[in-house]
Structure 1
Amino acid sequence: AEKDRSIKKSTDLVVSGKPDWKDIDQALFRSMGQAILEFRDSYPYFKGPFKDMGYAIQRTLPGEHYHWHIDGGSHDFSQRQLVAVWYLNDVEGPGGETEFLFQDIRVKPEQGKLVLFPPFWTHEHRGVTLQAGVKYIATTWVVFA
């Protein structure tokens, strides 16, 4: 089945399980582990054990975007408890922010920034259409182990 490019227009690469990307996969895993420890300090009832669903790198070019969506739901998405988005570069912009509908905020892509949020209907979000430059992010979802 072909993707509906009106919903999401970007280039995605799953890196987990690929030998050439092992160092990147391990770096993201370590970063996620540290972030979970810090997250638990703020939210003590966020208890595991947890695991990630593997990591993907996404490239967004000028004119590309990701329409409003949530990352949770039924069936394959029902186990997701947390979304992780790493910004891998600064974006020249304008555009490229991650916008959260109900929180009325936009997160500017800055290299090294990690954003964690629930995958549920409370955090409907989108990748704002990029006007200039290139945006690279890494993503995963945290599930119960």
Structure 2
Amino acid sequence: MKKVEINSGNKNPNFIGSWNIEPLLICDDLISYFELNKPKQGSGVVGSDVVGNGINLEAKDSVDISINPKEIIEPGNEVFKAYFDQLFECFKNYVDEWSFLEKISKRLEIGSFNLQRYKSGQHFKEIHTERFSLESLHRIFAFMTYLNDVSEGGSTYFNHYDLEIKPRKGLTLIWPAEWTHAHRGDILKKGSKYIITGWINFY
């Protein structure tokens, strides 16, 4: 067996879309929601793609609020509708850029999602992917919005692309959920880092 190289063409995309959501007040409101709902907070959990399914502080050290999409319409949760209106605009732009997605985009929906807080010394330490077992085959894309600026550490690192993305308030990412987009969160060195993240799934 001999490995050969094929013509890479004129493009080498990483398929990670990025936008700034507006208004940034949405980010402040999501952080306030997190801090005002302490009974809903719990230790972040990991899936079976990393060692220790469930709570495993050696893999992921965070505090999360997990939310079912049905909860968006409940009183007091109006901020989520404002956020997802913005995310939908980002996704429409993503589909416009990669026109093949038009064939499947109308069969997709938002799944469960998380508000997460990392404090100094915490991060998602393990390289992981969002589609990693039969239980997660329905995930097509992951999304994430950084809710605050981070001065030291806390970047998201996509190892296959050697791509490090620094948290910036309002910066929103959408990327394929497959193994091709394995990633980790670098250790937070100062302050707090807040994100909202989840998945776009087959209906």
> Could you say which TM-score interval applies, normalised by the shorter chain?
over 0.9
More helix by share: 2
Q: Secondary structure at the match of 1:68?
A: coil
1:130 corresponds, among 176, 188, 193, to: 188
State the Cα distance separating 1:13 from its structure 2 match. 0.4
How many residues end up aligned between the 2 structures? 144
Large movers: runs of 4+ above 3 Å: 18-21
- Computing the radius of gyration from Cα coordinates, the structure with the larger value is 2
Q: Which residue identity is paired with 1:9?
A: D
Runs of 5+ unmatched residues, structure 1: none
Which residue pairs with 1:12 in the alignment?
64
Aligned to 1:63: 121
1:142 aligns with 2:200: yes
**In the TM superposition, what whole-angstrom CA distance separates every residue of 1:15-35 from its partner, at most 9, and x where no partner exists?**
441636512221222122111
Provide structure 2 residue ranges, at least 5 long, that are not aligned to the other structure. 1-52
Report Cα offsets for 1:26-62 as digits up to 9, x if no partner: 1222122111110011111113221011331100001
Amino acid at match of 2:78: D
Q: What is the one-letter code of the residue matched to 1:75?
A: L
- Which of 14, 39, 51 pairs up with 2:109? 51
Question: Which structure carries more relative contact order (alpha carbon 8 Å, separation 6+)?
Answer: 1
Tell me which protein shows more strand as a share of its residues.
1
Distance 1:133 1:38, change over 3 A: same
Match of 2:154 in 1: 96
SS of alignment partner, residue 40 of structure 1: helix
Provide closer, same or farther for how the CA distance between residues 20 and 96 of structure 1 changes in structure 2, counting only shifts above 3 A: farther
CA contact (8 A) 1:25 1:55 kept: no
RMSD: 1.6
**TM-score, structure 1 normalization:** 0.92
Instruction: State the distance in 2 between where 1:59 and 1:76 align.
Output: 25
Q: Percent identity?
A: 28
C-alpha spacing 1:15/1:2, structure 2 compared with 1 (3 Å): closer
